[in-house]
């Protein structure tokens, strides 16, 4: 228990410090009362307006915000897992953004252009997105194992190639929605109803099955690294590739496989965004979800369940962020909180030292 608490300090302390720091920033710029109201509104938008719910008994006050939070958390979890899986084998997948972009496009295309019953259509869309994401990650992986090209540089390039090709060419060119479309003609064609991720609840909440997918993915990744021999082999590659090689692990193969899995996870994140909330590939994806994955992976300390928890927290805060606009604070404010937390969590050494001081070993080690 003590061990576990100590392990959480390097994540929890930075998040709390960042929240406090960002709160003080609003105080400085807008004064105490506005800051309190703004944070109150953000938390109500994030976790539900519980006091008002108890007062009025309107379940929507709690269910609607929680649904939005869950939808955002699903995407963050999947991109976070993408980065975390790569991390575990010692790779830095900065390319989640590009993999998510091509995944989202693949889902949008298969969702709109193919006509199938929902039982096959939805899985096919998810599969297409996973394959697209994995394909986008394959090149950096191969370049790494065959040419020694560092994956950070190659995935940065792949990100911009993806965004340029998809958002500046395909979505405004060959795949642009036909003018006879239902609602607007920006972005690609609307996906068919059979490709939509089903909503989990009727009425109040817009929560969709993406969250179920994300939780399942987190559990699978957790079980793989924690319970399976093969997962142990992958971890050894990350901790000490030389030792892994000596033990007979094909390091190159593991690198490629891990990168493919990472790409597939980011691709599915794109699919969840398109099939769950956007219903098409919009002109632009809006938030840099792929880069957010880096934050989630690090705040969750590369652990699948840690990623899930931090994604739930920040998914909620970001859902609540939309309510800040009323207080003269930009809706991307939660991203600032997240960014500062990431910056702080990067200073691991400091927090580990702090954790040891806060929660020292009970029995002295030597007599």
Partner 1 sequence: MGELLRSLVSSVLDAAPPLIFAALGATLSERSGVVNVGVEGMMRAGAFVAAVAALAMPTPLAVVVGMAAGALVASVHAVLTIRLRCDQVVSGMAINLVMLALGTFLLEALFSSPSSTPPITQLPGWAGHPVTTWLAFALPVLVHLALTRTAWGLRVRAAGEKPQAVAVMGVRVGWLRAGAVLASGALAGLGGAVLSTATLDRFEHHMPTGLGFMAVAAMVFGRWTPLGATAAAVFFAFGDALRISLGSSAPGLMPQGVLLALPYLLTLVVLAVSGQRSAAPAALGVAWDPEVR
Q: With CB under 8 A as the contact rule, which of the stretches 214-222, 275-283, 338-346, 354-362 interacts with partner 1?
A: 338-346
CA distance 165 to 170: 6
Closest approach, Cβ 298 to partner 1, in A, equals 6
Residues with Cβ within 8 Å of 233's Cβ and at least 6 positions away in sequence, in order, are: 244, 247, 249, 254
Q: x/- binding map, residues 63-82, to partner 1, per CB under 8 A?
A: --------------------
CA distance 65 to 237: 41
19 near partner 1, judged by CB under 8 A:
no
Q: 173 vs 248, which CB is nearer to partner 1?
A: 173
Q: x/- binding map, residues 273-302, to partner 1, per CB under 8 A?
A: ---------------x--xx-xx--x----
Q: 62 vs 344, which CB is nearer to partner 1?
A: 344
Closest approach, Cβ 147 to partner 1, in A, equals 5
Dig out the tokens for 40 from the structure.
């109150």
237 near partner 1, judged by CB under 8 A:
no
Q: 186 vs 194, which CB is nearer to partner 1?
A: 186
349 near partner 1, judged by CB under 8 A:
yes
Among 5, 16, 153, 185, binds partner 1 (CB under 8 A): 153
Q: 261 vs 294, which CB is nearer to partner 1?
A: 294
Q: 33 vs 229, which CB is nearer to partner 1?
A: 33
Site residue total, partner 1 (CB under 8 A) = 53
Q: 295 vs 355, which CB is nearer to partner 1?
A: 295
Q: 328 vs 360, which CB is nearer to partner 1?
A: 328
Dig out the tokens for 255 from the structure.
């690198």
Q: 67 vs 306, which CB is nearer to partner 1?
A: 306
Binding positions for partner 1, 90-149, rule CB under 8 A: 92, 94, 139, 143, 147-149
152 near partner 1, judged by CB under 8 A:
yes
Residue 261 burial (CB count, 10 A): 22
Q: With CB under 8 A as the contact rule, which of the stretches 191-199, 225-233, 262-270, 344-352 interacts with partner 1?
A: 344-352
Q: x/- binding map, residues 296-335, to partner 1, per CB under 8 A?
A: --x-----------------------------xxx-xx-x
Q: x/- binding map, residues 157-196, to partner 1, per CB under 8 A?
A: xxxxx--xxxxxxx-xx-----------------------
Distance of CA 323 to the CA centre of its chain: 21
241 near partner 1, judged by CB under 8 A:
no
Q: 48 vs 133, which CB is nearer to partner 1?
A: 133
3-state secondary structure the chain: CHHHHHHHHHHHHHHHHHHHHHHHHHHHHHCHHHHHHHHHHHHHHHHCCHHHHHHHCCCHHHHHHHHHHHHHHHHHHHHHHHHHHHHHCCCCCCCHHHHHHHHHHHHHHHHHHCCCCHHHHHHHHHHHHHHHHHHHHHHHHHHHHHHCCCHHHHHHHHHHHHHHHHHHHHCCCCCECCCCCCCCCCCECCCCHHHCCCECCCCCCCCECHHHHHHHHHHHHHHHHHHCHHHHHHHHHHHCHHHHHHCCCCHHHHHHHHHHHHHHHHHHHHHHHHHHHHCCCCCCCCCCHHHHHHHHHHHCCCCHHHHHHHHHHHHHHHHHHHHHHHHCCCCCHHHHHHHHHHHHHHCHHHHHHHHHHHCCCCCCCCC
Residue 81 burial (CB count, 10 A): 31
Binding positions for partner 1, rule: CB under 8 A: 25-26, 29-30, 92, 94, 139, 143, 147-150, 152-154, 156-161, 164-170, 172-173, 288, 291-292, 294-295, 298, 328-330, 332-333, 335-336, 338-340, 342-343, 346-350
């Amino acid at each position: 228990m003590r061990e576990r608490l100590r392990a959480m300090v390097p994540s929890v302390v930075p998040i709390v410090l960042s929240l406090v720091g960002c709160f003080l920033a609003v105080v400085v710029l807008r004064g105490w009362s506005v800051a309190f109201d703004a944070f109150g509104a953000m938390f109500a938008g994030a976790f539900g307006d519980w006091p008002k719910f108890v007062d009025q008994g309107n379940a929507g006050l709690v269910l609607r915000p929680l649904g939005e939070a869950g939808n955002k958390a699903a995407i963050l979890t999947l991109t976070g897992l993408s980065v975390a899986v790569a991390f575990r084998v010692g790779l830095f997948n900065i390319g989640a953004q590009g993999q998510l972009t091509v995944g989202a496009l693949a889902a949008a295309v298969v969702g709109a252009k193919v006509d199938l019953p929902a039982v096959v259509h939805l899985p096919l869309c998810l599969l297409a997105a996973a394959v697209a994401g994995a394909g986008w990650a394959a090149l950096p992986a191969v370049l790494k194992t065959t040419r020694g090209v560092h994956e950070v540089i190659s995935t940065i390039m792949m990100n911009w190639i993806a965004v340029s090709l998809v958002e500046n060419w395909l979505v405004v060119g060959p795949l642009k929605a036909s003018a006879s479309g239902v609602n607007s003609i920006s972005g690609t064609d609307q996906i068919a109803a059979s490709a939509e991720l089903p909503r989990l609840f009727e009425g109040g909440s817009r929560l969709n099955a993406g969250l179920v997918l994300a939780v399942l993915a987190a559990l699978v990744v957790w079980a793989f690294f924690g319970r399976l021999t093969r997962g142990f082999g992958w971890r050894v590659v990350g901790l000490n590739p030389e030792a892994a090689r000596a033990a007979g692990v094909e390091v190159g193969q593991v690198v490629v496989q891990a990168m493919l899995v990472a790409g597939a996870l980011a691709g599915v994140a794109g699919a969840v965004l398109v099939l769950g909330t956007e219903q098409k590939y919009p002109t632009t994806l809006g938030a840099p979800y792929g880069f957010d994955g880096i934050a989630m992976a690090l705040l969750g300390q590369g652990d699948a369940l840690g990623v899930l928890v931090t994604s739930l927290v920040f998914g909620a805060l970001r859902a609540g962020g939309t309510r800040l606009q009323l207080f003269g604070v930009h809706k991307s404010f939660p991203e600032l909180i997240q960014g500062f937390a990431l910056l702080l969590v990067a200073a691991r050494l400091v927090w580990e030292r702090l954790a040891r001081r806060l929660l020292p070993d009970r029995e002295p080690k030597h007599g």
